[in-house]
Structure 1
């Protein structure tokens, strides 16, 4: 099993959270905790190094998007590998979430 890791770095007036490994039920608490500590108006999740995403990970992302939206903040996702993107496509979340191709495309 590939361990889950995340790093947070400033991206201008946004925060870039890079996800690595597998975002599954075992990793969701770590991601939730990291996102709750951020105060930036825009949070970008970089999925390019994510190898696996299950329904618990997807739920965590959707709940984060909803919470940020209620606070008039935004969640942006940097597209991941084909396997990760497939989860968003199969669940039709590509229509409900904001995706960009690279971190530098995140609008403030």
Structure 2
């Protein structure tokens, strides 16, 4: 199984968290900790190198969107592979989350 990892870069008011591997219940604490640490106006999560997303990962993303929104901040997702995007589609979260095709479009 691919190990989960993340890397954060920042440019002004935008922080970009790049995820790789599998975002499952074992990995959510690391992402939650990183999201809590950031104070940028826009937090983007790049899903392109993510291979798997389960319900715990989806929940973490939704909670982050709600928390950032309550602080007048934005969460933006960079679309991932077909398997990852399918999770958002079958749960109809594509209607409630903001997606871009590439981080340059933020």
Could you state the TM-score of these two structures normalised by the residue count of structure 1?
0.96
Query: Take 2:73 and 2:56, find their aligned partners in 1: how far apart are those partners?
Result: 22
CA deviation vs aligned residue, 1:57-92 (integer Å, no higher than 9, x gap): 000000000000000000000000000000000000
Query: Take 2:43 and 2:100, find their aligned partners in 1: how far apart are those partners?
Result: 12
Counterpart secondary structure, 2:35: helix
Counterpart secondary structure, 1:15: strand
Q: Which runs of 5+ in 2 are unaligned?
A: none
Point out 4+ residue stretches in structure 1 off by more than 6 angstroms: none
- For the aligned residue pairs, the C-alpha RMSD in angstroms reads 0.6
Query: Take 2:57 and 2:16, find their aligned partners in 1: how far apart are those partners?
Result: 18
Query: Take 2:61 and 2:11, find their aligned partners in 1: how far apart are those partners?
Result: 19
Partner residue in 1 for 2:25: 25
Could you state the TM-score of these two structures normalised by the residue count of structure 2?
0.98
Partner residue in 1 for 2:35: 35
Query: Take 1:95 and 1:65, find their aligned partners in 2: how far apart are those partners?
Result: 13
Q: What is the Cα deviation at residue 10 of structure 1?
A: 1.1
Partner residue in 2 for 1:44: 44
The count of residues paired between Structure 1 and Structure 2 equals 106
